[in-house]
Every structure is written in structure tokens, then in C-alpha cells.
């Protein structure tokens, strides 16, 4: 004979079930990558006349993929300021493909149905410093400076890490080694900069003070180590290396170079790691031999690898979007969500 439950017992049981279900669904949703990722793609290029590198956007769960910024010239990776109000990037000079400048811009994201975008502020920060090539700007945590890679175009390919203020008034060279030095990222407290260098005849990960002093080799490995980036909490540095099997994998280590861990560990080429804003996930691009790269995301410990893009073109250099909360518009249906500050005049 089946046991009969009172109304109060049924209500109490239903409450327990709903509470348990809410915990389960909250845990499930919390484990899924969140946020938005910008990346570079050549999927819209004209193969006969030019190479167009456009900026695309995609949600970290693989949804809402689409173009954001286009140009007749080649973009570099997008870097969001800590407050989300500006982006910095390098762009090739239309008059000289061997020269690139650093630009500062206010990121405005509007859907196509709203018509043309408003005029926004775009400023060339490095034009006054001559016809060198300036690449890959990285924001300081306080948003007042940019670290970047520069070269004078000499045949030996020497590059240096420099720091400049975001007004474009001062540019200081931090490294002057006989080789290639390329910027990685700032430490979260702004006191150090991690970077790539082949000054010793092999590509290694180095760290230095933000003033350029005390430059130290962290990896000291015969393989090629490159593309370092500091985790948001300052406890890890992610980088790419071909130290196991000859292909590039994504690794993580402590800031003193210890406890190196291979996060991807498979026969594909995994490159350009980028931490999510909360440090829980790492985006990167990966490709099989003979194929073009796509954007992937995984947990910070290397678990739950997921492919986000599948276009046959090259999708590379992911960066996580930092929305400008000061002017965000939370709306529904067909209304716009605006990230960034619209400007009514150019500087």
C-alpha cells in the first residue's frame, strides 16, 4: 500500500527539490565560460588584391559570432583598457606596409540596424616618434601607460620593449639587447613586465621591473618559449612552448619560473594564450598541421577544451572584452547595448 503524504509534506518536498535543482543549475551555468572574446580573422579578405585582417567578436560559449571592426589594412590584436573605455591596437600605415602605428580608440559596439556608427575618437599615439614599427600594445593596470614592441626596421630584426603614456607624449625604451625583445604583459600590480627575448640565442620568457631594471630569464630551456601573459591574480604566467614533442602547447608557471605545467598536451599547435578577466579560463588559437587556426577556450587548469570558431579562414589572437560599465545600456529585444563612450569629434 502506497504511503499518503500530507499537503504540508508535499510542499516541503517540492521546496527541497527546487532548492537542490537551483544549486545544480547554478553550478552547471557557473562552470560554462562567460564573457566575450575579440579575435583577428582574414575570412573577409580579397585574395587577389589585399590582405584584410578584421576584428571579430564571439561569446565565450561560441554564440553570437560576427565582425566588429574592418579595415583595408592589417590590424593587430585588440587590447582593452582596464576600465573598458578605450582600446589600443597597432595598424599598418596605408602608405608603407612595413610601418605600423599604435592607435587609441573608444570602442563603440552597435548593431547594424541602427545605421552608421557615430564618429568616435581615434588617435595615433606613435606618429610623432618617427617611422618605426610599433606593435602589440599592452595596458598597465592603472590604465595610464602602454607597453609595446618597437623596431627601427633594421635588417637584423632587432626589437625592443618600450613604455609610453596614453597621451602619446613620452616613449621610453626599456630593453636594448642584441636580439628580439617582445612585450608580453604587465603584472597585476604594475610593478613588472613579462616579455619574450632571444638575446641568448634562444627564445625565452623574461621578466623585468616596469622601469626596465632587473631583467631575469624565467624559463632557461632549450626549446622556444614565447607569448607570456600574467594571470589576473598574479599567481601564474601562461605562455606557449614547443618543449614537448616539437609542437607548441600552452603552459603555465609561477612568476619565478617554477612549477611549469603543460595545459594542452596534444599534437596540435596551440598559441597566443589569453586569460579571462576573472582568471578562470584561457582563450587561445590552435590548428592542426596544414590547416588554419581557430579560437579555443579551456579552464585555467587545461580541462574542458572547447572550439569556438570553425571558419576555414585564419582566426587568431583572442583577447577578452572589457565592457565599459560607465555607459553600458542594459536593454532587451531589438534595442542596442552600448559599450564604450561615443565621441562627437575626432582628436
3-state secondary structure of 344: coil
pLDDT score at 343: 31
Q: Residue 86: which domain range?
A: 37-327
% residues pLDDT > 70 (the chain) = 75
Q: Residue 147 and residue 165: Cα distance in Å, rounded?
A: 9
**For the residues 282-309, what does the mean pLDDT come to?**
94
> Which pLDDT tens digit goes with each residue over 127-137?
888 767 899 99
pLDDT band at 111 (very low <50, low <70, confident <90, very high): low
Q: Please state the φ and ψ torsions of residue 20, each to the nearest 5 degrees.
A: -65, -40
Q: What is the pLDDT of residues 230-258, one digit of tens each?
A: 999 999 999 999 999 889 999 999 999 99
- Rank 263-267, 300-304, 334-338 by mean pLDDT and report only the highest: 300-304
* pLDDT reported for residue 110: 55
CATH number, domain containing residue 307? 2.120.10.30
Radius of gyration of the chain (CA): 23
* Cα four-point dihedral sign 295, 297, 301, 305: negative
Q: How far apart are CA 297 and CA 101, in angstroms?
A: 30
**Which sign, positive or negative, has the C-alpha torsion 124, 126, 128, 132?**
negative
Structural domains in the chain (count)? 1
342 in any annotated domain: no
Q: Using CA atoms, how far apart are residues 293 and 46, in angstroms rounded to an integer?
A: 19
Amino acid at each position: 500500500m502506497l504511503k499518503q503524504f500530507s499537503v504540508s509534506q508535499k510542499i516541503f518536498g517540492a521546496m527541497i527539490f527546487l532548492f537542490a535543482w537551483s544549486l545544480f543549475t547554478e553550478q552547471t551555468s557557473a562552470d560554462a565560460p562567460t564573457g566575450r572574446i575579440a579575435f583577428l580573422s582574414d575570412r573577409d579578405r580579397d585574395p587577389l588584391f589585399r590582405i584584410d585582417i578584421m576584428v571579430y567578436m564571439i561569446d565565450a560559449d561560441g554564440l553570437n559570432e560576427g565582425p566588429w571592426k574592418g579595415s583595408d589594412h592589417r590590424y593587430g590584436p585588440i587590447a582593452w583598457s582596464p576600465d573598458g573605455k578605450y582600446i589600443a591596437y597597432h595598424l599598418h600605415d596605408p602608405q608603407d606596409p612595413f610601418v605600423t602605428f599604435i592607435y587609441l580608440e573608444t570602442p563603440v559596439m552597435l548593431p547594424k540596424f541602427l545605421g552608421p556608427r557615430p564618429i568616435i575618437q581615434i588617435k595615433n599615439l606613435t606618429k610623432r616618434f618617427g617611422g618605426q614599427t610599433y606593435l602589440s600594445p599592452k595596458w598597465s593596470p592603472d590604465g595610464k601607460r602602454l607597453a609595446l614592441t618597437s623596431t627601427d626596421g633594421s635588417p637584423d630584426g632587432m626589437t625592443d620593449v618600450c613604455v609610453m603614456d596614453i597621451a602619446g607624449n613620452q616613449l621610453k625604451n626599456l630593453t636594448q639587447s642584441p636580439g628580439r625583445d617582445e612585450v608580453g604583459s604587465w603584472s597585476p600590480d604594475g610593478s613588472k613586465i613579462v616579455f619574450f627575448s632571444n638575446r641568448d640565442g634562444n627564445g625565452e620568457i623574461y621578466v623585468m621591473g616596469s622601469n626596465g631594471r632587473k631583467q631575469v630569464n624565467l624559463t632557461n630551456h632549450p626549446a622556444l618559449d614565447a607569448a607570456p601573459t600574467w594571470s589576473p591574480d598574479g599567481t601564474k604566467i601562461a605562455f606557449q612552448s614547443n618543449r614537448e614533442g616539437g609542437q607548441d602547447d600552452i603552459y603555465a608557471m609561477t612568476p619565478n619560473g617554477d612549477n611549469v605545467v603543460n595545459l594542452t598536451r596534444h599534437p596540435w599547435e596551440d598559441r597566443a594564450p589569453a586569460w579571462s578577466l576573472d582568471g578562470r579560463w584561457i582563450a587561445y588559437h590552435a590548428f592542426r598541421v596544414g590547416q588554419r587556426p581557430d579560437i579555443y577556450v579551456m579552464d585555467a587548469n587545461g580541462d574542458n577544451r572547447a572550439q569556438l570558431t570553425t571558419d576555414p579562414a585564419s582566426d587568431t589572437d583572442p583577447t577578452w572584452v572589457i565592457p565599459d560599465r560607465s555607459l553600458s545600456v542594459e536593454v532587451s529585444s531589438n534595442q542596442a547595448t552600448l559599450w564604450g563612450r561615443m565621441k562627437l569629434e575626432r582628436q
